[in-house]
Each structure stands twice: as C-alpha cells, then as structure tokens.
Amino acid sequence: MRCVFKQMIAALTVTGLTIAASEPVLAQSGTRTEPASISGDLTNPPEGSGQRAGQQAPLALGGYCPVTILEMRKWAKGNPAYQVVYDGHTYRFANEQGQKMFEANPAKYVPALGGDCVVAFVKMGKRLPGNIRYSAVHNGRLYLFSSAEAKKMFLADPASYAHADLALGGKCAVCAAMGHDMPGKVEFAAFHKGFRYLFTSAKMRDKFLTNPEKYISAARSSIKGGSSTRQPSSGSATTEPEGSGSSGR
C-alpha cells in the first residue's frame, strides 16, 4: 500500500495544497490557527546558515513543519523544541528527525522565494508575502501565493514562475566571483534573502555561506548580461539578483 501511495505522489507534477475555506487568511509569518489536512491524494545567525534559533526571527509557515508538508503531504504543527533559524526565518519541526532532515538539506524544504509569492514577483517585481492558505507543490518544491488568483495563474503555467527565485541564472556565485563561469547544481543549493543560489559543490556552497554578500557582489560584477536580468518596479522590498533565472512576462 505504501508503494502505491509513493507512486501516486511521484506521478503528480503540480499539486495544490488547499486549506479549508473556513480558515482565516494567513500570511507567511505570524500566529495561525491549524489548517485542515491537504486535499487530494496528498494528505539571526549568519543569513543562509542552518543554526538553532537563538534570536528572534519571523516564524515561517505559521509554525508548520516543512518536512512533513513535503514528505508526507500534510500539515503538522512544529514543536518549539525542534527549530532552526535559516535565512532569517524560524522553521519548526514535528520531531527531531524532521529537524535533522532539514539541517542536512535546508534548500529542499524552504518555500520558493523564501515564502513570498513568485507570481507577484514575476508580474510586478514586488515581494508580497505568500499565504499558507494558497499553496502548491511543484517538482518537489513548496510555493506560497498571495491570493487564490495568483495560485491559479501558477498552476496554469508553472514554467513561467517556478524559477523566479533562482539567482545569477543558476551560475555558481563563488566560481563567478573567481572569474569562472560555471553552472551550479540543484543538489548544492542555498538560500539568501529568499533567493536560491546553486553551487558546483558542497565546498563552494559552504564557502558562500561564510559571507554571502561578498560573493554575490563579486559574482554580479563578474557576470555580464546574465539571463533574464530584470529590475523590479519601484516599491519592491528586495531587488532581484543580477542574472536571475525568472522569466517575467
């Protein structure tokens, strides 16, 4: 039975995670009531570091466990005893195992664009908080949207939005800083200010995490005419890294 369940999950490319309509509208951070189970067959330390929460940081996903959401396709409240600060947000986990899985590969479980709406970013160049009431899983990544309409737009054309948070066109920031034009690999990823950076190796990723701003600045100076370079409109919270992989329309 378990094998059949896993096959069903693997067959789904895009899965909406719908929370009961009776739930209040909830933004990415803050206090939330517990949502219903997911519908369908799927039931500041240094930024970018995966360290235990020792300082105040916004609570991601309303305190729900990102590992449970992606691995089991259901909403489960995290336990304050098991939490990690990553890229400026506090993530809580249902148990110690969930925390260890996150620490081993945080980029796998962090929502796209750090939980902000990728549709709003692509369409308007603005960082709008995503809402756990409007969420979806696409190719193993969790996406939060600012509205039901934004979610609908994503599901209709995920390719236009799925990589909105990819920085430097997927090139390795550390390599670029050293003058080498090398594509990064998805298995060596890290988040910084909500953007996803890829690296050629775990060593390069860890080097980046020691001083992200240093390598980003050097990489942007090195990379000329990166793919899909686009500056957000005025009023956006965070500018898009040069050479970002988003495909604005």
Q: Got the DSSP string for the chain?
A: -HHHHHHHHHT-SEEEEEPPTTSPP--SSS--PPPPPPPTT----STT--EE--S--PBGGGGB-HHHHHHHSS--BPEEEEEEEETTEEEEESSHHHHHHHHH-HHHHSPGGGGB-HHHHHHHS---B-EEEEEEEETTEEEEESSHHHHHHHHH-GGGTTTTTBGGGGB-HHHHHTT---B-EEEEEEEETTEEEEESSHHHHHHHHH-HHHHHHHHHHH--S-TT--PPPTT-SSPPPTT------
The mean pLDDT value for 162-185 works out to 94
Residue 169 domain boundaries? 163-249
- pLDDT of 142 above 90: yes
Total domains in the chain come to 2
Are 187 and 108 in a shared domain?
no
- Give the separation between CA 145 and CA 65, rounded to whole angstroms: 18
- pLDDT of 201 above 50: yes
Confidence of residue 56 (pLDDT cuts 50, 70, 90): confident
- Give the separation between CA 3 and CA 24, rounded to whole angstroms: 35
Residue ending a domain, among 140, 160, 180, is 160
Among 140-149, 195-204, 224-233, the minimum mean pLDDT is found in 224-233
The mean pLDDT value for 94-119 works out to 97
Tell me, what's the pLDDT at 222? 84
Are 32 and 137 in a shared domain?
yes
**Residue bearing the bigger pLDDT, 102 or 41:** 102
Are 155 and 33 in a shared domain?
yes
- pLDDT of 10 above 80: no
Are 115 and 237 in a shared domain?
no
User: Position of tokens 């803050």?
Assistant: 30
**Residue bearing the bigger pLDDT, 180 or 34:** 180
The mean pLDDT value for 62-73 works out to 96
Are 81 and 64 in a shared domain?
yes
| Spatial contact of 151 and 25, defined as CB atoms under 8 Å apart | no
User: Tokens at residue 101, please?
Assistant: 């899985």
Residue ending a domain, among 134, 160, 186, is 160
Are 148 and 117 in a shared domain?
yes
Are 12 and 117 in a shared domain?
yes
Are 92 and 198 in a shared domain?
no
The mean pLDDT value for 76-89 works out to 96
Residue ending a domain, among 122, 143, 160, is 160
- pLDDT of 238 above 70: no
- Looking at the chain, the whole-number percentage of residues with pLDDT higher than 90 is 65
Tell me, what's the pLDDT at 231? 35
Are 124 and 62 in a shared domain?
yes
Q: Which amino acid is at 245?
A: G
- Average pLDDT score over the chain: 77
CB atoms closer than 10 angstroms to residue 81 = 10
Tell me, what's the pLDDT at 51? 38
- pLDDT of 34 above 50: no
Q: From 123, 132, 97, 115, select the one nearest 196 (Cα to Cα).
A: 115
Are 38 and 151 in a shared domain?
yes
Are 13 and 122 in a shared domain?
yes
| Spatial contact of 93 and 78, defined as CB atoms under 8 Å apart | yes
Among 9-23, 45-59, 105-119, the minimum mean pLDDT is found in 9-23
The mean pLDDT value for 126-146 works out to 96
By DSSP bridging, strand 131-138 and strand 14-18 are antiparallel
- pLDDT of 153 above 50: yes
Are 150 and 174 in a shared domain?
no
Report the range out of 47-51, 182-186, 222-226 with the highest average pLDDT: 182-186
Tell me, what's the pLDDT at 224? 64
